[in-house]
Structure 1
Amino acid sequence: MHARLGLAVFGLAALATLSPAHADAPAAPAAPLLTATTPVAVPGGPGKFDWMMIDAARHHLLASHPSHKTLVIYDLVKGDVKQIDTDGAINGEAVDEADNKLFVGGGNQKVVAFDLTTLDKLGEVALTGPADAILFNAKNGVLYADHDDGAEVWMIDPKTLKINGSVAIADAPEAIEYDPATDRLYQNIKPSNCVQVINPATNKVEATWPTAPMTSPHGIAIDSAGGRIFAAGQGKVDLMDIKTGKVLATVDIEPGYVDQIAFDSSRKRLYCASSAGVISVVDETADGATLAGKVTVPKGTHTLAVDQSTGDVWISYSDAAGSNLQKWSPAK
Structure 2
Amino acid sequence: MAFLTHKALTVCLAAIGLCSFAAHAQTSQYQLVKTINLPGTKGGHGDWVTYDKDTHAVWLSQSPDHNVVVIDANSMAVKKTIPGVDSGNGIDFDADHAYVTDATTGKLFVYDKHSFERVAAVDSGGKTPDGVNVDTKTGTILLANDDSNNEAVFEPKSPYKMTASFKLKPEDDKDGPDVALYVASTDRLYQPVGGKIDVIDPNTHQIEAVWDFGLKKDAKGGVYDSKTNHLIFGTSDKKMLVVDPATGKLVTTIAVAGAVDQTAIDTDKRRAFIGDKTGNLEVIDLDSNQIVDHIRTEPKVHTLTVDTTTHRVYVYLNESNKVGVYEKKS
The within-5 A match list for 1:1-332 is: 29-30=24-25, 32-47=28-43, 48-81=45-78, 82-97=80-95, 100-107=96-103, 108-127=105-124, 128-159=126-157, 160-170=159-169, 171=173, 172-190=176-194, 193-212=195-214, 215-233=217-235, 234-255=237-258, 257-285=259-287, 289-319=289-319, 322-332=320-330
Question: Secondary structure of the equivalent of 1:37?
Answer: strand
- The percent of aligned pairs where both chains have the same amino acid is 24
User: Which runs of 5 or more structure 1 residues have no equivalent in the other structure?
Assistant: 1-23
Q: Distance in 2 between matches of 1:112 and 1:305?
A: 21
Q: Distance in 1 between matches of 2:247 and 2:329?
A: 34
Q: Distance in 2 between matches of 1:27 and 1:75?
A: 39
Post-superposition CA distance 1:46-105 (Å, at most 9, x none): 2332001001110000001111111100001133312101342111111121xx222111
Change (3 A) 1:89 1:266: same
What is the one-letter code of the residue matched to 1:122?
V
Which of 1 and 2 has greater Rg?
A: 1
Q: Distance in 2 between matches of 1:66 and 1:104?
A: 12
Structure 1 residue 267, shift from structure 2 partner = 2.3
Q: Distance in 2 between matches of 1:38 and 1:225?
A: 31
Q: Distance in 2 between matches of 1:203 and 1:330?
A: 41
- Contact 2:31/2:327 (<8 A) preserved: yes
Structure 1 residue 310, shift from structure 2 partner = 2.2
Q: Distance in 1 between matches of 2:196 and 2:29?
A: 30
Q: Distance in 2 between matches of 1:251 and 1:215?
A: 16
Structure 1 residue 200, shift from structure 2 partner = 1.6
Question: Secondary structure of the equivalent of 1:67?
Answer: helix
Question: Secondary structure of the equivalent of 1:187?
Answer: strand
Question: Secondary structure of the equivalent of 1:309?
Answer: coil
Q: Distance in 2 between matches of 1:263 and 1:87?
A: 27
What is the one-letter code of the residue matched to 1:115?
D
| TM-score, normalised with respect to structure 2 | 0.85
What is the one-letter code of the residue matched to 1:176?
A
- Contact 1:140/1:200 (<8 A) preserved: no
Structure 1 residue 156, shift from structure 2 partner = 1.3
Post-superposition CA distance 1:105-149 (Å, at most 9, x none): 131210011112211111211133111111111211211111122
Post-superposition CA distance 1:127-185 (Å, at most 9, x none): 33111111111211211111122321111113122211124312411121111111111
- Contact 1:214/1:237 (<8 A) preserved: no
Q: Distance in 1 between matches of 2:246 and 2:315?
A: 31
Question: Alpha carbon RMSD of aligned pairs, Å?
Answer: 2.2
- Contact 1:179/1:224 (<8 A) preserved: no
Q: Distance in 2 between matches of 1:141 and 1:223?
A: 22
Post-superposition CA distance 1:169-208 (Å, at most 9, x none): 1241112111111111111122xx2221111221111011
What is the one-letter code of the residue matched to 1:185?
L
User: Which runs of 5 or more structure 2 residues have no equivalent in the other structure?
Assistant: 1-16
Structure 1 residue 331, shift from structure 2 partner = 4.0
Q: Distance in 2 between matches of 1:269 and 1:79?
A: 21
Q: Distance in 2 between matches of 1:330 and 1:59?
A: 19
Structure 1 residue 248, shift from structure 2 partner = 0.9
Q: Distance in 2 between matches of 1:207 and 1:145?
A: 19
